[in-house]
Amino acid sequence: MNTHLKTLSPHIRSRDSVAKRYWGLTLASVPVFVAVILGGQAGALRVLLFSIISAVAFDFLGAKILFKKERVNNGEAVLSATLLTLLLPRNCPFEIAVFGIFLAVFVVKELFGGTGSYLFHPVLAARIFLQMSFPGFFENSGMILEEKSALWILGGLLVSGVAVISQKNNREIPLFYIMISLLCVLLFHSGMESLTVLNWIFFTAFFLLGDSVAMPLTRKGTRIFVLGAALLNFFFEAKGFSMAAAGYAILLMNALTPWLDVMMKPAAYRAKIHLKATYP
Amino acid sequence: MSTRNFVGIRLERKKEASLLNWNLKRPYTPERVRISLPATAYPCVHVGNNVQTGQKIADPVGPGCATVHSSMEGVIEKIAIFPDATGGESMTVEVRRQGDPKAPATFENVRKNWEILKEEELLDIFQNSGIVTTDALMQPVHAKIKKNEQHPTLIINGCEPEPYVTCEQVLAMAHPLEILKGAEILKKTTRANQILFVFEDCNLELVELFKSKIYFLKWEHVKVRTVPAVYPQGHETTLLQRWFSGKEDQAIVFPASTAFAVYEAVVHQKPFYERVLTVGGECVIEPRSLWLPLGISFRDAIHTCKGVMREPQKVIMGGPMAGTAQENLEVSVMAGTNAILALPKEVIRDKAEEPCIRCGACVDMCPVSLSPAMITLAAEHGEFELAEKWDVSACIECGNCSYVCPSKRPMLKWIRKAQAEMAQTALPKSQKNHEYAS
Ligand code: SF4
Ligand code: SF4
């Protein structure tokens, strides 16, 4: 008797996968790196290299220490490394980069349950913690915020943006965030600073909000999340832009996410008729 | 009407292969058939009896069940419990053919005065011809209609949102008049004022065909409507949700092939013992829709379509989204079997499960607005009450959530588990496990 695979329906699956999403986002950050380097921050590559190596190492070891299945292949560690690098200054000593990665990949992500379970955006949380630990060194510094090469970076971000938006699954969130935030920027910032703020907004929209884990499930929930993040950002920055403030805006909304999930529970449709099968 | 009503996935339809063979053939009788009986039917034949095609083999116990008929001429070989294609087990009557394969029997005896039969007489005919709905639920038609209940609208569903499956389409194309007359008979018993024929918007030829027939018949109470060809629009629940949200008792839905079975039972006095189904999937040599007797084994069914060209990884009863995978080919066709699919590995794309990344795709794609990610999370931790707070019992098991999930979460496993748990706790103590006891 020949036996066939007996698993539950559905028997076909979409081509979407976690790895595809994370690697896609990582790939979309390449134009930003190109822009950063063309803008004169060649040191970026060194930081990136350290970050990626240590992120993969921590991810792998972390999973082993906690007796979990390692998921280096899904690209999450590399994505975290890439994003954290963009938030560090180009002359960042390698110990600090590695420490930041340790915070992001091991502490905020793995210790909080690993892929899919963490509450706060690992990269942002790590970056803010670094800023608290080394206050003088990190005040508003990060490759993405470099004023000298701001125009280059803006170009790179726009190219990345096209790549992100063309991936169908996360179109609404970045566009909505950009829309709201642009209004605030146009109203309250001017000159060179507005360019940096613009870069920050695009970076947040395309990359930081691309991490769905610490965001609500429903459309309504994500809209409120995005609205809240943008408005809080604006509120915290009333006295001028600061990366910590912008980060807190998102972390605060992260903290609200479990509550938003429950509040924004979709209203189920329940047909009044009862359909009952004849066979068990 | 909110846009939530139109949630659906545009799946690759893959229907062309089985549509290449348009004519509905009836193959010669197989060597044996195994006819599964519902739990409330009791066999009225004995091992060794001779039975004719269409002869009654099981009586209903109680009013909520219909008779069961032999689909082939032969000798009763066994009456025993066998696994059935729904994944459970049921009392089964095995009929073995005597001698050579024969051409299937025909029923050409037109019932006199069928047009003036009364409601009760029609319902009796339904029950005694063993007519059950030809969807996965297999409800006896007379029980679904219920005496003395009025449903102002009768919906005849000609949609097949599942990929590969073409049986309704082929049958409706071949027998539009019979289906219209069957609908008219159903209209009488449901006391409906109007009939809606529903097709998918990509089957324009069906829409035109039915419109022209209705025009010639001058039946003004019959209308044709379309729904977008996205999965699972065309499912009974989504049709009610689309047009009768909040007043579902105003309408009653029957598949087009059920209307055809009703027509044959009432007009030609033919009991319900065979159905049109699709044998398809990439592995089958000659995929097509054809008439097959109920109870024919999946092996014989695939064999009548020239067999498989390579070993399938999965054999499925029903469509690939909501069907049931079968371990072996000995299970048999039931009234609700609209397709037998043999699918190769590259179509199945089985992948390991990963943790949920809370992307929200499943929430976006649930046709009845549930939050499958939350339900799964609750059920996984054994919190079935919590799962019910998230409305797990409203799930129609369409499979959309698992389809879109990038993490390949086995949602339906947990959803069914939670539903089963809730059903157990909801029952009074004396009735627990009753379905297996009877
Ligand atoms: S929860 Fe149920 S109804 Fe909703 S998409 Fe999943 S299977 Fe379909
Ligand atoms: S689709 Fe899958 S990964 Fe996305 S929220 Fe639903 S369960 Fe989680």
Q: Is the pLDDT of residue A1 over 60?
A: no
Mean pLDDT of B333-355: 90
Co-location of B255 and B395 in the same domain: no
State which amino acid sits at residue B336: G
DSSP of B371-420: -HHHHHHHHHTT-HHHHHHTTGGG-----HHHHH-TT---HHHHHHHHHH
Q: Which domain holds residue B219?
A: 114-268
- Joined together, the tokens standing for residue B340 give 């037998």
* A2 occurs within a structural domain: no
Q: How confident is the model at residue A131 (pLDDT cuts 50, 70, 90)?
A: confident
pLDDT at A272: 60
Q: Which domain holds residue A225?
A: 18-263
Measure B393 CA to ligand 2 centroid, in angstroms: 19
What are the backbone angles phi and psi of residue B411, rounded to the nearest 5°?
A: -60, -45
Atom of ligand 2 nearest to the CA of B357: 3
Of the ranges A244-258, B329-343, B395-409, B416-430, which one carries the lowest mean pLDDT score? B416-430
Mean pLDDT of B42-70: 92
Q: Is the pLDDT of residue A224 over 90?
A: yes
Residue-wise pLDDT for B219-239, tens only, equals 999 999 999 999 888 888 889
Q: Is the pLDDT of residue B270 over 50?
A: yes
Q: How confident is the model at residue A268 (pLDDT cuts 50, 70, 90)?
A: confident
pLDDT at B432: 42
Of the ranges A1-5, A118-122, A130-134, B148-152, which one carries the lowest mean pLDDT score? A1-5
* B323 occurs within a structural domain: no
pLDDT at A279: 61
Residue numbers of A between 61 and 80 with CB closer than 8 Å to B: 71, 74
**Percent over 90 (pLDDT), chain B:** 62
Q: Is the pLDDT of residue A161 over 60?
A: yes
- Among B9, B351, B362, B415, say which to mutate for ligand 2: greatest number of ligand atoms within 8 Å of CB: B362
C-alpha pair distances (Å), B206 with each of B51, B197, B198? 38, 10, 10
Residue B64, strand partner residues: none
Instruction: Decide if A168 touches B, using CB distance below 8 A.
Output: no
Mean pLDDT of A45-49: 89
Residue whose CA is at the smallest distance from ligand 2 atom 5:
B358
Q: How confident is the model at residue B353 (pLDDT cuts 50, 70, 90)?
A: confident
Q: Is the pLDDT of residue B437 over 50?
A: no
First to last CA, chain B: 45
Predicted model pTM: 0.89
What is the predicted ipTM?
A: 0.88
Q: How confident is the model at residue B428 (pLDDT cuts 50, 70, 90)?
A: low
How far, in Å, CA of B26 to CA of B321, rounded? 27
Of the ranges A19-33, A216-230, A238-252, which one carries the lowest mean pLDDT score? A238-252
Which chain A residue has the Cα nearest residue B237? A271
Q: Chain-wide mean pLDDT for chain B?
A: 89
Residue whose CA is at the smallest distance from ligand 1 atom 2:
B395
Distance in Å, alpha carbon of B23 to nearest chain A alpha carbon? 29
* B132 occurs within a structural domain: yes
Mean pLDDT of B55-62: 91
* B301 occurs within a structural domain: no
Mean pLDDT of B127-156: 89
Instruction: Domain count for chain A, please give it.
Output: 1
Which residues from chain A sit within 8 angstroms of residue B363, using beta carbons? 217-219, 266
Measure B321 CA to ligand 1 centroid, in angstroms: 11
Instruction: Domain count for chain B, please give it.
Output: 2
Co-location of B233 and B125 in the same domain: yes
Q: Is the pLDDT of residue B1 over 50?
A: no
* B198 occurs within a structural domain: yes
Mean pLDDT of A202-230: 90
pLDDT at A236: 82
CATH assignment of the domain containing A168: 1.10.3430.10
End-of-domain residue from the set B250, B268, B286: B268
Contact (CB, 8 A) for B290 and B23 = no
* A125 occurs within a structural domain: yes
- Joined together, the tokens standing for residue B361 give 């795709």
* B25 occurs within a structural domain: no
* A278 occurs within a structural domain: no
Q: Is the pLDDT of residue A271 over 80?
A: no
Q: Which ligand is nearest to the CA of B368?
A: 1
How far, in Å, CA of B172 to CA of B64, rounded? 29
Q: Do A11 and B371 touch (CB under 8 A)?
A: no
Instruction: Decide if A1 touches B, using CB distance below 8 A.
Output: yes
Atom of ligand 2 nearest to the CA of B376: 7
CATH assignment of the domain containing B223: 3.40.50.11540
Q: Is the pLDDT of residue A239 over 90?
A: no
* A72 occurs within a structural domain: yes
Residue-wise pLDDT for A55-98, tens only, equals 999 999 988 888 888 788 888 999 999 999 999 888 888 888 99
Verify whether ligand 2 is closer than 6 Å to residue B405 (CB atom): yes
Residue-wise pLDDT for A169-199, tens only, equals 778 889 999 998 888 777 777 666 778 888 8
Which residues from chain B sit within 8 angstroms of residue A7, using beta carbons? 314, 325, 350
Cα-Cα-Cα-Cα dihedral sign, residues A69, A74, A78, A82? negative
How far, in Å, CA of A6 to CA of A9, rounded? 9
C-beta pairs of B118-125 under 8 Å, 24+ apart in sequence: B119/B147, B119/B188, B119/B189, B119/B191, B120/B147, B122/B185, B122/B188, B122/B189, B122/B266, B123/B147, B123/B189, B125/B265, B125/B266
Judged by DSSP in three states, A128 sits in helix
What are the backbone angles phi and psi of residue A88, rounded to the nearest 5°?
A: -100, 155
Residue-wise pLDDT for B69-99, tens only, equals 999 999 999 999 999 998 888 999 999 998 8
**Percent over 70 (pLDDT), chain A:** 92
Number of A/B CB contacts below 8 angstroms equals: 209
Q: Is the pLDDT of residue A274 over 80?
A: no
Residue A273 has its nearest CB partner, among B11, B163, B249, at B249
pLDDT at B362: 92
Which chain A residue has the Cα nearest residue B163? A12
Q: Is the pLDDT of residue B438 over 50?
A: no
Atom of ligand 1 nearest to the CA of B369: 4
